[in-house]
Amino acid sequence: MNIVMRTDERCIDLAIDKRECIVVKLLRTEIVKLLSSDEESSILSEVQKQGSTKLPSNKSVLVLGDNATGKTTLIAKLQGVENPKKGSGLEYAYIDVKDEYRDDMTRLSVWVLDGDPGHKNLLHFALNKNNYTHTLVILTVSMTQPWFWLNQLTHWIKVLSEHIESLHLEPEEKQEARQRLVATWQSYCEVGDDLDAGSPVKRTMRNNSIDEDDLLPLTDGALLTNLGLDIVVVVTKTDYMTTLEKEYDYRDEHFDFIQQWIRRFCLQHGSSLFYTSVKEDKNCDLLYKYLTHRIYGLPFRTPALVVEKDAVLIPAGWDSLKKIEILCENMNSCKEVDYYTDIITPPPSRKAVSNREIEVQTEDEQAFLARQQEIIKQSVQVRGESPLRSQASKAMPRTPGSAGQSSPKKMEAKLNTSTPGTEGVLANFFNSLLHKKSGSPATPPSAISTPRTNGSDSLLTPDKLSVRTDAAAELDRLARSVKKDVDFTQSDC
């Protein structure tokens, strides 16, 4: 009996479960009938979107700009790296992106291209047909060289445009990318407006589709050059503005002219604009949040910033020609129609600022040796023979025999200083030379050796011959006296 009772209870439970399933099915059928197909699809898509907790891992950022514009330092700041190491060619890095709302994390790939034009062939590794629609481009210029902005930005936009043309994308894909960029500009609204549930952006986010009736018309001058890519123009090293004011006499109207020009450039190419300073940590965190907003759709609540001249922030879709003209009202010495390089000119007396070392060009070896040979030849010709030496040789001709005679000083050194009477003999000898007069009786020829008369001795005057004869006789006498002293000393021993 107990067994029968248990069996009956189980049957009752099964019957209740079956009835509940039937009721649930009937309710679902009635709900589907009440809802339209569009509303059902929107609800399902929103649930599906909320259920997807994974951030895409195929997104990337391409950084372009001249050398010394702070590309590597900027990316290192976004990564949180303190001591960046600059590479060459095409650098690769990644930025950790975390979604706090869904507790998810992914890595954003970053490609940094060297500013040397010879490396632009490496672009196909960073931007190709597969990742064209998933790439954001950053163009960097430095506040240390504002006079080069026109050439730099024009150059890199041309390089980027030519590279996109070389990808041979499908026309439909390119048109879809361009239309998506236009829709982003048209659907922009102020930060406070998206809190309204009835705003166009709120409806767009809720329905995950773009209603053309809700889009605002595209402002004048916007997206005249549409490459189909999100572009962010980043002005680095804005802390250098104080140096421009002190050393280059820049004033507020110069910075206003620079800002209005680059904002017109960004408006024409559909770009955002950020003034940053890694040194003073200005707008670096906001740039990181804006990149994650544009790439992953994460929230970005910061409005446009135009008050501080060194921390400007212009989101894509906010700017217009009327807003830019406000800057032109305070300019007196220049106008918005002036050509950029006519107002912002390179300083004539200062060298361009560069963080790279100057490359030293080596000279060809053969050219160097030939140049050294010419220098040696010129030095030999200039030196030649000493004029004093040539004059002395002409004024005082020497006899062939005089070269072998020793000077009185050398003879004095050879004599033994201990010999008695040596100093007196030498004094008498030099006194005889000083007081010798012309016409004095000559020493008998038998007492001296006859000097040679060949060569230059035949040209000597009688006075000079007599002096020479007396000197020879005196030297012979000194030599004999020294010899006697030496013999006497040896005999005593």
Residue found by looking up tokens 């005089």 in the block: 402
Residues near 338 by beta carbon (within 8 Å), at least 6 away in sequence: 257
pLDDT at residue 234 greater than cutoff 80: yes
Nearest-angstrom CA–CA distance, 317 and 222: 9
Residue of 151 and 38 predicted with greater confidence: 151
- In b/e form, how buried is each residue of 241-271, taking b as 16+ CB within 10 angstroms? beebeeeeebeebbbbbbbbbbbbbbbebbb
Torsion over CA: 143, 144, 148, 152 (sign): negative
- pLDDT of 42 reads 63
End-to-end CA distance of the chain: 165
- pLDDT of 315 reads 96
pLDDT at residue 400 greater than cutoff 50: no
**Structure tokens that stand for 476 in this block:** 């012979």
> Which of these ranges, 96-110, 136-150, 443-457, has the smallest mean pLDDT?
443-457
> Which of these ranges, 273-287, 310-324, 398-412, has the smallest mean pLDDT?
398-412
Residue of 102 and 387 predicted with greater confidence: 102
- For the chain, what are the domain ranges? 60-189+217-343
- pLDDT of 217 reads 83
- pLDDT of 92 reads 95
> What value does the mean pLDDT take over residues 439-454?
45
Dihedral angle of Cα 375, 376, 381, 383, to the nearest 10 degrees: 110
pLDDT at residue 428 greater than cutoff 90: no
Q: Which CATH superfamily is domain 60-189+217-343 in?
A: P-loop containing nucleotide triphosphate hydrolases (3.40.50.300)
**Structure tokens that stand for 393 in this block:** 């040789």
User: Of the spans 10-19, 217-226, 425-434, 447-456, which averages the highest pLDDT?
Assistant: 217-226
What is the tens place of the pLDDT at every residue in 266-281? 999 999 999 999 999 9
Residues near 22 by beta carbon (within 8 Å), at least 6 away in sequence: none
pLDDT at residue 183 greater than cutoff 70: yes
pTM score, whole prediction: 0.61
> What value does the mean pLDDT take over residues 335-359?
78
Nearest-angstrom CA–CA distance, 268 and 263: 9
Secondary-structure breakdown of the chain: helix, strand, coil percentages, each rounded to the nearest 5: 55, 10, 35
pLDDT at residue 255 greater than cutoff 60: yes
> What value does the mean pLDDT take over residues 229-257?
96
- pLDDT of 284 reads 96
The percent of residues above 70 in pLDDT, for the chain, comes to: 61
The percent of residues above 90 in pLDDT, for the chain, comes to: 46
- pLDDT of 416 reads 47
> What value does the mean pLDDT take over residues 38-50?
56
Residue of 291 and 483 predicted with greater confidence: 291
What 3-state class would DSSP assign to 422?
helix
- pLDDT of 10 reads 42
Alpha helices, DSSP H only, in 360-407?
Answer: 365-383, 387-395
- pLDDT of 84 reads 84
Judge whether 196 and 202 are in contact, CB under 8 Å: yes
449 closest CA partner among 426, 474, 431 = 474
- pLDDT of 54 reads 81
**Structure tokens that stand for 309 in this block:** 């001249």
Average pLDDT, the chain: 76
Nearest-angstrom CA–CA distance, 262 and 267: 9
Q: How far, in Å, are 65, 69, 355, 367, 411 from residue 276 at the CA level? A: 15, 12, 18, 49, 90
- pLDDT of 362 reads 81
What 3-state class would DSSP assign to 232?
strand
pLDDT at residue 446 greater than cutoff 60: no
Residue of 401 and 425 predicted with greater confidence: 425
- pLDDT of 203 reads 33
* pLDDT grade for 423, boundaries at 50, 70 and 90: low
